[in-house]
Every structure is written in C-alpha cells, then in structure tokens.
Amino acid sequence: MYHFENESAGDGPNASNNYRRLKTFKITVNENNTLSYETYQDFPLIEGGGTYNEEWDLFDMWYTFQNGNNVMRVEGFLYRDRVNEDLRLLRNWIEAQRLLREPEPEPEP
C-alpha cells in the first residue's frame, strides 16, 4: 500500500514519486486474520492494526504515522469495488460498524 503524500512529489523520469521505494508499507494478514504492517524505505509508520474480514472480503484497518511534528491516525475500511445490491449491503454493514464504535454519550447530570 502506498501513502498519498508521495503522489505530490512530481512527475517525469527523475521524480521522487516512485511509491514502490519511498512512502509505502506492506500489510500482512496473519493466521488469526489480524493485520500487521511493515514500512519500507521512507514512510514514517509508527504502528498499525486491524483485521481482515473474510465474510465481507475487506480490511478493517488503522495506522499511525509521523507527519512533520504531528502524529496522524488513519482508520477505515479497504475493499474491492462492488455494485448494486452488494454495494448497498456492504455500506450498511460498514455504517453499522461505525455506529458500534461511537462512544456512548455521557449521561446528563
């Protein structure tokens, strides 16, 4: 997987936007369907995790990386494109997952 930042590094044969060697990381699906990450040359990956969901054929993933003086966090779902009813069902499932993860509101005093 490559990080979007390298896409703005220029074009042409001498450009530094060759994401295969610069800002990439590898996602590995472990035997228990958890995800592990390994950075390549220049991507400042701090940590990451998540799971591969076999039923929906998608990655439920997150990672943190250094962006200058800031630590950034990316989280979301990565999946192949779908159409029609398959896409509707997948979007409904993803929305349900997001709702489950939202913190409960604090009770009013």
Q: Does residue 70 form part of some domain?
A: yes
* pLDDT mean over 79-84: 89
Q: 18 pLDDT exceeds 70?
A: no
In this predicted model, what pLDDT tens digit does every residue of 23-54 receive, in sequence order?
A: 778 889 999 999 999 887 778 899 999 999 99
User: How many residues are recorded in the chain?
Assistant: 109
| Cα(49)–Cα(105) distance, integer angstroms | 26
| Cα(106)–Cα(104) distance, integer angstroms | 6
In this predicted model, what pLDDT tens digit does every residue of 21-30 receive, in sequence order?
A: 667 788 899 9
Q: In the structure encoding, which two tokens stand for residue 15, read together?
A: 């450009």
Cα dihedral 79→80→86→92 (10° resolution): 20
CA-wise closest residue to 2 among 58, 50, 51, 65: 65
Tell me the β-bridge partners of 52: 59
Q: In the structure encoding, which two tokens stand for residue 105, read together?
A: 């509101």
Q: Does residue 56 form part of some domain?
A: yes
How many structural domains is the chain composed of?
Answer: 1
Q: Does residue 96 form part of some domain?
A: no
Q: Does residue 98 form part of some domain?
A: no
Choose between 40 and 7: higher pLDDT.
40
Q: Does residue 65 form part of some domain?
A: yes
Choose between 86 and 2: higher pLDDT.
86
Q: Does residue 48 form part of some domain?
A: yes
What is the domain range of residue 22? 4-81
Q: Does residue 26 form part of some domain?
A: yes
Q: Does residue 106 form part of some domain?
A: no
Q: Whole-structure pTM over 0.95, yes or no?
A: no
